[in-house]
Chains A and B, each alone.
Chain A
Amino acid sequence: MTTIPISWYLAVAAALFTIGAVTVFVKRNAIVMLLGIEVMLNAANLTAVTFSSYFRELGGQILVFFVMVVAAAEAAVGLAIIVLLFRHRETLNVDEAQLLKL
């Protein structure tokens, strides 16, 4: 099926995961931090699909399916929280969201 070494895929996944993690660490905008989390989830998905495909075990792809569903749920709730945060504070900077109540 494929002639590409497994480590190439894993290297791409590692790079993507690193970039996503740096996005979460560096950015202070809540939406962009969520985008970084999505990148990290996708990197993990790529790893799972790679191993699933190379070892011919379907469980990895099922796992990725569930990760996608949970990511969709997480994005919905996270963005609802972000909208609320913005309504209350007029900012998306997570450094300024220090208090649970105004």
Chain B
Amino acid sequence: MERALFLIFALTAIVAAFNILLRRHPLHSALALLVVLGALTGLYILLGAYFLAMMQVVIYAGAVLVLFLFVIMLLNIRAEEARLERRPFFRWLAVPFALLLGAETFYLVRTFEENPSPSGTSIGVTEAVGRELFTTYLLPFEVTSIVLLIAILGAVVLARRG
């Protein structure tokens, strides 16, 4: 059951990531990224990182991706046209390299079959993460607010100049 869910989410993520790469229209790519993020949310839940799964939906799908879609629609971008290939030879070089990489990954997956399998309850519940965030990592957490503030200021200043 768990493996089936894992395979569904993993395949969805990889296929959608290929869609980001292959689509010509940026809007389609952005929507494919949404699928990738959703599939990764499923993987996070399988890993027991419930808090991060929620954050993934709220921050990435809710804020970042909407920003992307907004900009794409604001600029009214057309699909890019196919470009002339300058060196078609390299395209064929990509196939053996991809096969090599795939074989390497497969080998590693087979090699590390015996690995630590944790027992007990999952550690990524909101209470545990929140406790850690506000005790051990309090200073980085506060610095985060400055990062966000500077990002907002930067975006506003850049947007006003035009």
B partners with A: yes
* Interface positions of A (Cβ within 8 A of B): 1-12, 14-16, 18-20, 22-23, 26-29, 31-32, 34-36, 38-39, 42, 45-46, 49-50, 52-56, 58-59, 61-62, 64-66, 68-77, 79-84, 86-88, 92-93
Residues of A within 8 A of B144 (CB): 66, 69
- Mask for B63-105, Cβ within 8 A of A = 1, else 0? 1100110011011010010010000000000000000010001
Contact (Cβ within 8 A) A5 B49? no
- Residue from the set A34, A46, A79 with the largest chain B CB neighbour count within 10 Å: A79
Bound together, the chains give a CA A66 to CA B129 distance in angstroms of 12
Residues of B within 8 A of A52 (CB): 49, 123-124
Contact (Cβ within 8 A) A73 B148? yes
Smallest CB–CB gap between B88 and chain A, Å? Answer: 14
Residues of B within 8 A of A83 (CB): 71, 74-75, 158-159, 162
Contact (Cβ within 8 A) B47 A76? no
Contact (Cβ within 8 A) A12 B10? yes
Residues of A within 8 A of B72 (CB): 31
Contact (Cβ within 8 A) A2 B117? yes
Smallest CB–CB gap between A26 and chain B, Å? Answer: 7
Bound together, the chains give a CA A16 to CA B12 distance in angstroms of 11
Residues of B within 8 A of A23 (CB): 20-21
Bound together, the chains give a CA A19 to CA B48 distance in angstroms of 25
Smallest CB–CB gap between A18 and chain B, Å? Answer: 7
* Interface positions of B (Cβ within 8 A of A): 2-3, 6, 10, 13-14, 17-18, 20-21, 26, 29-30, 33, 36-37, 40, 43-44, 46-49, 51-52, 55-56, 59-60, 63-64, 67-68, 71-72, 74-75, 77, 80, 83, 101, 105, 108-109, 111-113, 115-124, 128-129, 132-133, 136-137, 140, 144, 147-148, 150-152, 154-155, 158-159, 161-162
Instruction: For the complex of A and B, list the 8 residue pairs with the smallest distance between their C-beta atoms, beginning with the closest.
Output: A73-B151, A80-B158, A7-B112, A80-B155, A53-B47, A19-B17, A12-B10, A7-B109
Smallest CB–CB gap between A96 and chain B, Å? Answer: 12
Known contacts A16-B17, A75-B68, A82-B75, then 15 further A-B pairs from the complex at CB < 8 Å, ordered by chain A residue: A2-B47, A4-B46, A7-B111, A15-B14, A15-B17, A18-B101, A31-B26, A39-B20, A45-B52, A46-B43, A54-B116, A54-B118, A55-B118, A61-B52, A66-B140
Contact (Cβ within 8 A) B109 A9? no
